Structure 1
Amino acid sequence: MTSKVICISPIDGSVYAERPVLSADEAREAVARAKTAQLAWQERSLEDRISLVLAGVAKIGEMNDEIVPELAHQMGRPVRYGGEFGGFTERASYMAEIAAEALAPIEVADDAAFKRMIKRVPHGVVLVVAPWNYPYMTAINTVAPALIAGNSVVLKHASQTLLVGERMAKAFHEAGVPEDVFQNVFLDHATTSALIAEKSFGFVNFTGSVGGGQAMEKAAAGTFTGVGLELGGKDPGYVMEDADLDAAVDTLIDGAMFNAGQCCCGIERIYVVESLYDAFVEKAVKIVEGYKLGNPLDPETTLGPMAHARFAAEVRAQTQEAIADGAKALIDPAKFPEDDGGAYLMPQILVDVDHSMRVMRDESFGPVVGIMKVKDDAEAIQLMNDSNFGLTASLWTRDVARAEAIGDQIETGTVFLNRADYLDPALCWTGCKDTGRGGGLSIIGYHNLTRPKSYHLKKAQ
C-alpha cells in the first residue's frame, strides 16, 4: 500500500489534504532529473535566473487570497494577519539585489604573467527541508538564493503544510523556471535519509527539530555533503532599567504569543530588572487578557489553534509541571473558554519561575512565557546563556554601547536591540549550540549555497 503524507487541520481535526509519497526509485529519478537540469540552469545568465525567480515570487503574491485561508486550515494562523507574502518577497528581493556582488569572482591578479581568481560555483542539487510554522518565508530563505546561484532545488515541505510546496512549484513553473530545476516532492523520512546517504545532493538545508537535525547529520555522515541546520530555540528577552517599558512589553509579549507562540525566533523567556518587573508583568497580563482565541478563519480571532494537538499537549505539560513546582499562572482560564484541551490552547504568563523548570529550559514553541526578576546585567547574561539553544536574544535599553557589550557575552546567533522576532535578510540568519550551524540569507547565505573554485592561469609568453 502506498504511504501518504497527511495534513490534519488544527481547526477541527479533519484530514485537510493528503498526498502519496514517492517510492525510493521515483525519488532517485527526481534527483537525476534535477542534476541534468541544473547543468543548463547554471549556464543561464545571472540576470535571467534572477528575473525568473522574482517572477515566481510575484506569482505567489497573485495567489495570496487563496493562500491565507489555506494556511489557516493547515497550521492555524488567523486570516486577519494576511499570510507571509511581505516577508517572502522582502527576503527574495534582497537576495536578488545582492546576488551580483555576492557571487562575483574575487580577482586576485590579472597581469602580464598570470590571471588568478576565485569563483563561486553552485553545489548542484540543493535539498530544502522546510518547516510548517512560517512555511513560505522559511522555504524562500534558501530556495531563492539557491536558484539564483545556479543550483537546482528539491523542496520537501512539512506534512502540516504540504500544500505550500505545491503552491511554490506551480508559481515558479508558471513564471518560467524549468520544472526539473525546482521540484516539490513528498518523501518519507527513510527515503530522505537514503538519498542524503547516497550523495544525491550537493547541499542540504533543514529547518526543524533538534532530533530532525541529528537525523540529517547522521544520514550525511561520511558523504562530505554540506548541511545547514536551524533547529530549536529558547530565545530570551532582557529588559534593563532605562528601557522604553511600553515598547518592551508590547514587543516581547507579541514575540512570545504571535502565531500561537510558534515562531523560530519567538520569545520564550523574559528577564526584567527589579525596578521595572512589577509594571512589566502588569502590562503583559493586560495585553494577553485582550487576545481572542478561536477559529483562525474568523477575522476577529487574534490567537488561533496550535498546528497540532500534540504540540499543544507539550506546552500544557510544561506549564502544569512548572505550576506544580511553584510557578504562578497569571492568566485566568475562564477568560479563554475556547481552550478545548486539544489544539486550541489559551495563552499563559508564568512568574515565580526558575531554570529548574522545563518551561524555562526546553523549547516550548507555544503561547506560554516565563518572566523572571534579575538584579543586574551579570545575572541576566548568566541566565540567558543557561540554555542549550542560541538563536536570538532581545535586549532593551537606550544605551547602544551597553547593549553591544552585553551582546558580545551572549551565546546566540543574533542580538536584537529594542526589537524582537524579526529576520533581517541583510544579516546572516544563524545559530549556535543545539540551535544548529550554518547561515542563511545575506552574502554569507550565498557562500553556503556555493563552493569556492580557484583559477591559477599562467599566460603564454
Structure 2
Amino acid sequence: MSLIAERHTDLDRPRFFIDGAWAEPRSSRVYHAVEAATGEGLGIAALGGEDDIDAAVRAARTALDHGPWGRTSAAERAAAMRRFADALERRADHTSTLVTRENGMPIQFSQQVNGGLPGVLLRIYAEVVEKLPLEEVRPSPKGSTILRREPVGVVGAITPWNFPQALAMFKVAPALAAGCTVVLKPSPETALDAYVLAEAGLEAGLPAGVLNIVAGDRDSGAALVSHPLVDKIAFTGSTAAGRIIGAECGRLLRRHTLELGGNSAAIFLDDGDIDTLLAGLGGASFLNNSQTCTTQSRILVARSRYDEVIDAVAGYVSAMDIGNPLDPAVTLGPMATSAQLDRVLGYIDIAKKSDARLVTGGGRPTGLDRGWFVEPTVFADVDNNDLLAREEVFGPVIALLPFDTDEEAVRIANDSDYGLAGSVWSADEDRALEIAGRVRTGTIGLNYYELDLGAPFGGMKSSGVGRELGPEGIDAYLEYKAVYASKKYLSA
C-alpha cells in the first residue's frame, strides 16, 4: 500500500525535510505512530532509506562547503539561531502536546522540555559562540601561530524518543553555533514532532541544507553513521547501539559523541532527611515516567534507616497520580510503546522470581487497560548482582539496597557498568560532597538531582563518550587549526 493511500490524520508526515524543502521519500516504508495513553493510531511517518540519507547528507555537505552557512560570522549565526528560537517558541504548545501524545510524557513536563527548552538552548549557544574567540594569535619561535576554531563539518545527529525535542537541540544548537550543518535522524516513535524543527527553521530563514531531517530506523542510522561525507556523529540512545556506532566511528576515524544508558544510584546516608528525599524523588527517579537515562533506579540506604526509607518510598509511589498524560494533575503517564511496556514488565517478572521483596506495584494499574501503563514498582532487599540492579530498565521500577558504611555505599554505587548520574542525601553537605567525589559518574547531585544547562553533561564507563551542554558543549563541534605565520599578526 502506498504512503499516500495510508494517510489518515493531519499529523501524518509523508515527506522528509532535505535541502530546505519537503522531499518525497525514495523508500516506501512507513511507521504507524500510536498514542501512548490510548493505543490508538496517531499518524503515519515516512521512514528513510539509504538513498534518503544520502540526499540529506549531500545537501548538508553542499551547504557547508559552497552555501552561505560555511561563510557566516558568529554574529550572523547567532542572529539566525535566535530567529529559530522565536519560531519554535511560537509552536511550543502544539509541540508539547504532540510529544505527550507520542511518548506519554506528562504534559507539564513536556511544556518545559519540548516546548521551552529547545529555544533556551538555541539562545544559550548563540551567546556562547558570540563570546568564544574563534581566532587568536600566539607568538611562535619563527613568528606567530594563528589558532582557529573551525566547524567540524557535517554532523549526523541521531536522537531517541524519550526527550525528542530537547535531545535534538542538545546537538543541533551547538552544531549550528559552531558553523556545522546537520542531518537529524529522529526515532520513528517521535518522528511526527521532529518536523516542527523544520517548519521553524524555514520560518527563521535557515539556508537550504543547514538542517535536514529524515526519520528512520536502525538501518537509516547505520547509513548515516557510515556515510563518507559525514564528519561527526552525535548519538543519544542505548549502550548496545552506542557500542556499534562507536566501533564504526573508530573504524572510520570519525569524531563522535555518545550519550548512553545508566542504572544510577541514589545514596541515602544515616543522617539523611526523609522529607528532602521525597521532595527530590520525582526528579531523581521518576522523571518522564522513569524513561530517562539519569533515572536513579537503585536507592542505597543506610541500614539504620532502611525500613523507614522503604515505607517512605512506597508511600510516595502509592500516591502518584497515574493516567492520561495530557491531564496536568497526572504525575505518571504510560510507557512510550507497547514494546517498552513489555520490557518493563519483563524486568518486574524476573525480579519477582529473585530473592528481592516486592513492596508495591508489580503490574498493570487497575482501570487503565488501554495504552501502555505500568504501576510504579518498588522492590526491597535487591542484591546488586540482580538483573534489576545491573541493567537499565527504563521504567518506574525502583530497587532498594541496604549498606552498613559509607565505604560500602560507594563500593555498591561504583559496582556498575554505568556512570551517568547519581545523588547523595545527607544533612551534612560536606560529607555528601566527599562521598560524591568518590562515585565514578559524570553527574551527581547533593540532596537533589536536576540537570544544569550551564554545566557539561555525559557519562563514564558504558554511559558514554564526550559531553553535551554548558559552554563546553560546543567543543565537540569545533576543530582546531594552527596557521604558522609571520610576526606581523601579533600586533593586529
TM-score after normalising by structure 2 = 0.87
Displacement, 1:187?
Answer: 3.2
Displacement, 1:333?
Answer: 6.5
Q: Distance in 2 between matches of 1:9 and 1:351?
A: 33
Does residue 49 of structure 2 align to residue 14 of structure 1? Answer: no
Counterpart contact for 1:313–1:342, Cα < 8 Å: no
Counterpart contact for 1:54–1:92, Cα < 8 Å: yes
Q: Distance in 2 between matches of 1:392 and 1:7?
A: 31
Does residue 231 of structure 2 align to residue 184 of structure 1? Answer: no
Displacement, 1:109?
Answer: 2.5
Alignment correspondent of 1:213 = 242
Which stretch has the larger CA shift, 373-382 or 405-414? 405-414
Does residue 137 of structure 2 align to residue 137 of structure 1? Answer: no
Displacement, 1:53?
Answer: 1.2
Please state whether the residue corresponding to 1:58 is helix, strand or coil: helix
Counterpart contact for 1:249–1:280, Cα < 8 Å: no
Unaligned runs of 5+ in 2: 1-26
Counterpart contact for 1:33–1:180, Cα < 8 Å: yes
Displacement, 1:286?
Answer: 1.8
Displacement, 1:156?
Answer: 0.7
Alignment correspondent of 2:440 = 411
Displacement, 1:209?
Answer: 0.9
Counterpart contact for 1:157–1:164, Cα < 8 Å: no
Please state whether the residue corresponding to 1:414 is helix, strand or coil: coil
Alignment correspondent of 1:226 = 255
Q: Distance in 2 between matches of 1:332 and 1:406?
A: 32
Unaligned runs of 5+ in 1: none
Counterpart contact for 2:37–2:370, Cα < 8 Å: no
Please state whether the residue corresponding to 2:439 is helix, strand or coil: coil
Please state whether the residue corresponding to 1:222 is helix, strand or coil: helix
Displacement, 1:342?
Answer: 6.4
| Counterpart among 209, 227, 237 of residue 198 in structure 1 | 227
Q: Distance in 2 between matches of 1:31 and 1:204?
A: 12
Alignment correspondent of 2:482 = 454
Does residue 78 of structure 2 align to residue 50 of structure 1? Answer: yes
Alignment correspondent of 1:380 = 409
Displacement, 1:435?
Answer: 0.9
Q: Deviations over 1:353-408 (max 9, x none)?
A: 11132111110110110112211211110110111111011112243443333223
| Counterpart among 46, 55, 64 of residue 92 in structure 2 | 64
Q: Distance in 2 between matches of 1:278 and 1:23?
A: 54
Alignment correspondent of 2:130 = 100
Counterpart contact for 1:193–1:219, Cα < 8 Å: no
Q: Distance in 2 between matches of 1:245 and 1:370?
A: 17
Counterpart contact for 2:365–2:373, Cα < 8 Å: no
TM-score after normalising by structure 1 = 0.93
Alignment correspondent of 1:269 = 298
Q: Deviations over 1:322-369 (max 9, x none)?
A: 222122222256994135496111101111111132111110110110
Q: Distance in 1 between matches of 2:402 and 2:350?
A: 20
Q: Distance in 2 between matches of 1:92 and 1:236?
A: 32
- Check 1:81–1:408 CA distance in 2 against 1; reply closer, same or farther (3 A cut): closer
Counterpart contact for 1:105–1:118, Cα < 8 Å: yes
Counterpart contact for 2:257–2:465, Cα < 8 Å: yes
Counterpart contact for 2:92–2:116, Cα < 8 Å: no
The one-letter code matched in structure 2 to 1:259 is N
Q: Distance in 2 between matches of 1:182 and 1:332?
A: 44
Counterpart contact for 2:377–2:397, Cα < 8 Å: yes
- Check 1:334–1:167 CA distance in 2 against 1; reply closer, same or farther (3 A cut): closer
Counterpart contact for 1:129–1:207, Cα < 8 Å: yes
- Check 1:405–1:78 CA distance in 2 against 1; reply closer, same or farther (3 A cut): closer
Counterpart contact for 1:312–1:342, Cα < 8 Å: no
Q: Deviations over 1:192-224 (max 9, x none)?
A: 323432322111000001222123224334221
* Aligned residues between the structures: 459
Does residue 42 of structure 2 align to residue 35 of structure 1? Answer: no
Please state whether the residue corresponding to 2:483 is helix, strand or coil: strand
The one-letter code matched in structure 2 to 1:79 is I
Alignment correspondent of 2:23 = none
Q: Deviations over 1:27-65 (max 9, x none)?
A: 222211111112321311211111211221222221122
Q: Distance in 2 between matches of 1:398 and 1:119?
A: 48
Q: Distance in 2 between matches of 1:114 and 1:418?
A: 53
Q: Deviations over 1:261-304 (max 9, x none)?
A: 11121211111112332322222222211112222233332211
| Counterpart among 454, 464, 472 of residue 436 in structure 1 | 464
The sequence identity of aligned pairs, in percent, is 28
Q: Distance in 1 between matches of 2:429 and 2:135?
A: 36
- Check 1:303–1:289 CA distance in 2 against 1; reply closer, same or farther (3 A cut): same
| Counterpart among 270, 291, 307 of residue 320 in structure 2 | 291
The one-letter code matched in structure 2 to 1:171 is A
Alignment correspondent of 1:352 = 381
Displacement, 1:459?
Answer: 4.5
| Counterpart among 261, 278, 285 of residue 249 in structure 1 | 278
- Check 1:304–1:199 CA distance in 2 against 1; reply closer, same or farther (3 A cut): same
Q: Distance in 2 between matches of 1:296 and 1:17?
A: 18
Alignment correspondent of 1:325 = 354
- Check 1:336–1:435 CA distance in 2 against 1; reply closer, same or farther (3 A cut): same
Please state whether the residue corresponding to 1:22 is helix, strand or coil: coil
- Check 1:108–1:415 CA distance in 2 against 1; reply closer, same or farther (3 A cut): farther
Displacement, 1:320?
Answer: 2.1
Please state whether the residue corresponding to 1:330 is helix, strand or coil: strand
Q: Deviations over 1:415-447 (max 9, x none)?
A: 221211x22122111111111111112232211
Counterpart contact for 2:352–2:358, Cα < 8 Å: yes
Q: Distance in 2 between matches of 1:171 and 1:460?
A: 45
Counterpart contact for 1:6–1:17, Cα < 8 Å: yes
Root-mean-square deviation (CA, aligned residues, Å) is 2.3
The one-letter code matched in structure 1 to 2:295 is G
Q: Deviations over 1:77-104 (max 9, x none)?
A: 1224352234333433332222234453
Counterpart contact for 1:193–1:215, Cα < 8 Å: no
Alignment correspondent of 1:87 = 117
Q: Distance in 1 between matches of 2:164 and 2:263?
A: 20
Counterpart contact for 1:270–1:371, Cα < 8 Å: yes
Counterpart contact for 1:230–1:436, Cα < 8 Å: yes
Q: Distance in 1 between matches of 2:139 and 2:470?
A: 26
Q: Distance in 2 between matches of 1:375 and 1:160?
A: 43
The one-letter code matched in structure 2 to 1:416 is G
